Structure 1
């Protein structure tokens, strides 16, 4: 069992719900509200349990989300040698910055900024989420103050093994090779071939424009599970933990950032745009097996970050659902 940190003034009021109004509304709509509230109060912590601290320290990359100066969420993958993510205590996480300076997530980082972080181990299908704020930042490292830490189930994660392709700290080859506002050509081809992407979402405080919370989440399915419709993507939502972290954010703020990793070339396809929630009976989801709803993403801007990942992966099996 993880060790529980001592009670301190830094910990939030235990009577405060771990879910915001958007998440609660969707939980209420599907009849899970009371059950998930009770479970969330036990599972969502304002600190890192010991097993989460150990888990993050062994990872070769993490998914990171941040919001730029125009209020647009972006998602990315930040790589590093095992140990590049380190928790000096249960309330903080240090992250060494080896990613490309041209990455829009890297450019959106600043002290006080809210960011979302997802640790995911592809070969074991374990994943843990962390949301917090940047406490300190320099050219080489950031320190994050933990707001929420919790685990996710391994559904829809495809088994993959990672193999190094170059030194993790070598950033010289990473570059933006294309910027675009239309989904066409090679962009459509990469999305059509994807069985995984990561999505960034964010909400604002109701009484001021400061971003209140940022989240990054994994989305997976069989190849072709993302449908391209003009300059929009249709993404099914499958039955999950009923937290509704991503969709609850969309309900309050429809902006989103997506990143599609190309594990064959090491490139990242990064998109930012706007979303609309879809119900299970929406025509755009017709024929999608097991979908309990979904969402439409419409592109505002995108870029391809070439040679961003210093490893390649080999897929082993089909996605477990």
Structure 2
């Protein structure tokens, strides 16, 4: 199993962490270990990212009762329900072999699990044949408690647009968390970014940027962006369940004050009440750096 491709290796060399990345890479497994299976089955949400038939990359949110996403064997993730009609990714998982990146994140325990592979439709919803499975450290992950489910909540129609509205820009500026899907020679990867509210800067209605904080030294995201600039972002309103999803192109910038990522969006998809889950106010991660311009 090859953990890194040329893009990730180039970034590791540029930052000077190749040796550390090699050690961290040994934690990546091709299958779902028992501890990972138990974690997956306890989660009420799963982030899934892929490229749509038109080539745009999106990240989306799937939810259900615990057990809706579960291991159906050491090399298979089974997800109940699948993607709703009208979803930007609804046409992506229509045949076997669609590259996807998934992220199971538990704000209650500040734990997360990344599972990348290939998806296909199933009678239950969809299944993912695993390629790479690994846990992440809790850095920059805000802690939240699950207050409950709005059982009468139903997703509203997806609202598409070419740029952020003022209300959508305000949601981005207030965010302490977002999810990021990228694609490259090694497949699709979905990760998490977090920080104090304001860590994502809205440069214009069609452009964002954020500081790239030190992480696990793997550089899977920046490595993908070295090879293929397509990216999809998912912002979640933790109070109302509304999701804001952005698709566009991103690239890393390197300067004396650190790394930053600049993202130019060309499509917006907002879904009111996309999630029935309702979460508490966050307890900020102790790792969150002070705000600075990206």
| TM-score of the pair, normalised by structure 2 | 0.92
- Structure 1's unaligned 5+ residue stretches are 1-11, 205-211, 282-290
Match of 1:24, SS state, is: helix
Q: In 2, distance between residues paired with 1:293 and 1:114?
A: 28
Match of 2:131, SS state, is: strand
Say whether the 8 Å CA contact 1:100–1:174 is kept in structure 2. no
Q: 2:112 aligns with which of 101, 108, 127?
A: 127
Q: Which residue of 1 aligns with 2:292?
A: none
Q: Which residue of 2 aligns with 1:106?
A: 90
| TM-score of the pair, normalised by structure 1 | 0.85
What's the CA shift for 1:203?
1.4
Q: 1:214 aligns with which of 159, 163, 188?
A: 188
Say whether the 8 Å CA contact 2:24–2:218 is kept in structure 1. no
Q: In 2, distance between residues paired with 1:176 and 1:27?
A: 42
What's the CA shift for 1:184?
2.9
Q: In 1, distance between residues paired with 2:91 and 2:147?
A: 28
Q: 1:228 aligns with which of 202, 205, 218?
A: 202
User: How many matched pairs?
Assistant: 285
What's the CA shift for 1:175?
2.5
What's the CA shift for 1:108?
1.8
Moved more, 157-166 or 60-69: 157-166
> For 1:298-313, what aligned pairs fall within 5 Å after superposition?
298-313=264-279
What's the CA shift for 1:139?
6.3
- The CA deviation string for residues 3-30 of structure 1, in whole angstroms up to 9 with x for no partner, is xxxxxxxxx4xxxx41111111111111
Q: 1:176 aligns with which of 136, 153, 157?
A: 157
What's the CA shift for 1:89?
1.4
Say whether the 8 Å CA contact 2:102–2:189 is kept in structure 1. yes
How much is the aligned-residue C-alpha RMSD, in angstroms?
Answer: 1.7
2:52 counterpart of 1:78: no
What's the CA shift for 1:156?
0.5
Q: Which residue of 2 aligns with 1:6?
A: none
Say whether the 8 Å CA contact 1:193–1:223 is kept in structure 2. yes
Q: In 2, distance between residues paired with 1:117 and 1:141?
A: 15
